[in-house]
DNA sequence: TTGTCTTATTGTATTTTATACTATAACTAT
DNA sequence: ATAGTTATAGTATAAAATACAATAAGACAA
């Protein structure tokens, strides 16, 4: 109960797992380190140290805004990663100190989940060499505990969908087909869904509204397009809860 | 991207919301500050700065162990609170600096949920003047954002129960009646449950096993006692997931 | 012993929701 | 015209959730 150094004083960052859906599988947005260091081509989750005047949500919004240009993206804090071992790799620490021009001994991170339409044009961010989508099943080994963070985010997204079903539409174009929606659910739950039962369920959900429009440029029967109606959704949620 | 001070460097604490159930309502375990300062009789959540060598889970276990003597209490990290404004109150900061003998400018906290049988004898902890249970509906104004933390923990406990129904038994004595269990659910969900439907459901759950024992010393018909069977529970969970 | 009080215990009918199935229609491309 | 591909839709069954009330058991007091 005395020495100045037994308590953790540290830097705190946010890291964002941004999901996108390419009509087949979930993808995660990764950035390429731009450190002018050898062996620094690694991919990692986008993130940032938190600024003095910010809270963690604001920092995450800032990171996401840099990537997408969207001011207030849908996001959700989901877990803090605090192991002293997460800055065990000297190369990671070297990159950190280069990128932030600060000596960094210990770093904890607060991880965020976010969702983005995969066709959206992304900004180029000075801090990084490039950014790109990566299928969740083909993730490279990443620095820090970023692989573990993605792992846990995959469980979190299911809980999130159950709590707030509307978030899935952030992953789809504004007009989408029933099979796109079904494949998205299959990707999130990693489980095949019965086509007919799914159809029945969608029919019964009033905030998923069928349009008088169909797909174009497909080499088979064109499917009907649907849209998500946020107003109807909010009404429904208000009556249930 | 330059100055040494634009990034947050800070102390990190854990705060624990420990729930107890007094066969009627949920209670939270609060500690009384022991700061030898005027106006320092405030109640707050038990917590601690994180030590250098620890991760947050270990710090939370340490705090809970101090309170209850239990080495590995069931706990769950549920949210980080990071607003720069949380150390706005000079009195809170004075208490912090007194308690930890460190100058503390900014402090974020990682909050934990935990559960405890309310009749358990609690330790006396040097750092605090006293500890006691407080009904969730009668919480005093607490320092920092502890009121908000409890608020959000009440939503979190419902999600936790849905994910892992076994945790409710951490709040009950090892032998309990059906109505105790029902009242606990009613307290968690803040909703009355139909007695007969609840009964039917309990009958169908094999890991809630009826005993050949009844309540004693009650001024009415004594109810049957039940126990929770962890082995049967684990079997069931293994077959479902 | 009787009656009153309090809580324990239980079943049935209905509705809603989930599941397990396949046949045909529409469109494209050859 | 035909083959290939995906879209679309209904029925029967099972499981789960809901609504609803009468009787039993024991404690206690008169």
* pLDDT number for residue A124: 86
Asked whether the beta carbons of residue B49 and residue A7 sit closer than 8 angstroms, the reply is yes
Nearest nucleotide to A218 (CA to C1') is: C28
Q: Is the pLDDT of residue B2 over 80?
A: no
Output the pLDDT for position A127.
82
**Which of B4, B55, B88 is the best mutation test for A, with the most CBs of A within 10 A?**
B55
Q: Place A241 in a pLDDT band, splitting at 50, 70 and 90.
A: low
Chain B residues inside the 8 Å CB shell of A79: 77
**Which range (A33-37, A169-173, B122-126, B167-171) has the least confidence?**
A33-37
Nearest to B51 by CA among A111, A2, A50: A2
Q: Do residue B8 and residue A163 have CB atoms under 8 angstroms apart?
A: no
DSSP string, chain B: ---TTSB-EEEEEEEEEEEEE-SSSEEEEEEEE--SSTT---EE--EEEPBTT--HHHHHHHHHHHHH--SS--EEEEEEE--GGGG--HHHHHHHHHHHTS--S-EEEEEEEEE--TTSPPPP-TTEEEEEEEEGGGPPP-STTHHHHHHHHHHHHHHHHHH-GGGGGGGS-SSEEHHHHHHHHHHHHTS---HHHHHHHHHT-TTEEEEEEE--S-SSPPPEEEEE-HHHHHHHHHHH-
Mean pLDDT of A126-153: 94
Weakest-pLDDT range from A71-80, A99-108, A202-211, B195-204? A99-108
200-239 on B, CB < 7 Å from strand D: 200-201, 218-222
The confidence score (pLDDT) of residue A61 equals: 98
Shortest alpha-carbon distance between residue A33 and chain B (Å): 16
Give the C-alpha separation, B21 to B27, whole Å: 6
- In this predicted structure, the answer to whether residue A158 has a pLDDT above a threshold of 70 is yes
Helices (H), A82-145: 90-100
| Range with lowest mean pLDDT among B16-25, B39-48, B106-115, B225-234 | B39-48
**Mean pLDDT across chain B, nearest whole number?**
92
pLDDT of residue A1: 39
The pLDDT value recorded for residue B36 is 61
Q: State the best of A50, A85, A240 to mutate against chain B, taking most chain B CBs within 10 Å.
A: A50
Residues of B with CB under 8 A from a CB of A: 1-2, 4-12, 49-57, 77, 79-80, 82-84, 100-102, 106, 108, 110, 159, 163
**Shortest alpha-carbon distance between residue B16 and chain A (Å):** 15
* A225 nearest nt, CA–C1': D7
Q: Taking the CB of residue B18, how many other CB atoms lie within 10 A of it?
A: 26
Residue A22 has a pLDDT of: 94
Which of the four pLDDT bands, split at 50, 70 and 90, describes residue B1?
very low
What is the average pLDDT across B27-55? Answer: 85
pLDDT digits (tens, 9 = 90+) for B207-222: 999 999 999 989 999 9
The pLDDT tens digits for A193-215 are 999 999 999 999 999 999 999 99
**B241/B238 Cα distance (integer angstroms):** 6
Torsion angle of C-alpha atoms A168, A205, B164, A60, degrees rounded to 10? 20
- Asked if B224 contacts B211 with a C-beta cutoff of 8 angstroms, the reply is yes
Q: What is the pLDDT of residue A3?
A: 44
Separation between the CA of A227 and the C1’ of C30 (whole angstroms): 35
Strand D nucleotides in reach of protein CB atoms, 7 A cut-off: 4-11, 17-21, 24-28
A-to-B residue pairs, Cβ atoms closer than 8 angstroms? 92
Three-state DSSP class for residue A190: coil
Listed range (A16-30, A181-195, B3-17) with the worst mean pLDDT: B3-17
Q: Whole-model pTM?
A: 0.94
Q: Provide the shortest C-alpha distance from residue A176 to chain B (in Å).
A: 31
CA of B234 to C1' of D22 (A): 38
Higher pLDDT, A199 or B41: A199
How do residues B150-207 score in pLDDT, each as one tens digit? 999 999 999 999 999 999 999 999 999 999 999 999 999 999 999 999 999 999 999 9
pLDDT at B118: 96
Residues 167-196 of A with CB within 7 A of strand C:
194-196
The integer distance in angstroms from the CA atom of B218 to the C1' atom of D27 is 8
Residues of chain A found within 8 Å of residue B96, distances taken between Cβ atoms: none
Mean pLDDT for B22-33 is 94
More confident residue, A1 or B24: B24
In tens, the pLDDT along B89-104 reads 998 998 888 888 888 8
What is the rounded distance in angstroms from the CA atom of residue B194 to the CA atom of residue B217? 26
Least CA distance to B53: which residue of chain A?
A: A84
Which DSSP helix (H) or strand (E) runs through A129? strand A128-135
Given the DSSP bridges, would you call strands A107-115 and A9-21 parallel, antiparallel or unpaired?
A: parallel
């Amino acid at each position: 109960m005395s020495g100045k150094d037994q308590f953790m004083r540290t830097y705190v960052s946010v890291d964002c797992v941004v999901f996108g859906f390419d009509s087949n599988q979930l993808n995660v947005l990764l950035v390429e380190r731009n450190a002018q260091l050898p062996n620094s081509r690694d991919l990692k989750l986008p993130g940032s140290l938190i600024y003095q005047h910010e809270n963690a949500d604001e920092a995450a919004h800032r990171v996401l805004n840099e990537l997408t240009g969207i001011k207030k993206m849908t996001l959700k804090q989901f877990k803090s990663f605090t192991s002293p071992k997460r800055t065990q790799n000297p190369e990671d620490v070297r990159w950190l100190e280069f990128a932030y021009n600060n000596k960094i001994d210990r770093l904890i991170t607060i991880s965020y989940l976010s969702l983005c339409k995969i066709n959206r044009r992304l900004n180029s961010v000075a801090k990084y060499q490039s950014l790109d989508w990566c299928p969740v099943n083909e993730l490279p080994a990443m620095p820090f505990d970023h692989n573990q963070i993605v792992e846990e985010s995959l469980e979190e997204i299911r809980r999130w969908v159950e709590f707030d079903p509307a978030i899935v539409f952030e992953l789809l174009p504004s007009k989408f087909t029933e099979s796109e929606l079904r494949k998205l659910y299959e990707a999130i739950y990693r489980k095949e869904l019965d086509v007919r039962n799914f159809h029945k369920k969608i029919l019964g959900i009033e905030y998923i509204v069928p349009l008088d429009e169909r797909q174009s440029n497909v080499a088979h029967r064109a499917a009907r397009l649907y849209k998500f109606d946020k107003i109807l959704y909010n009404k429904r949620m208000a009556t249930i809860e």
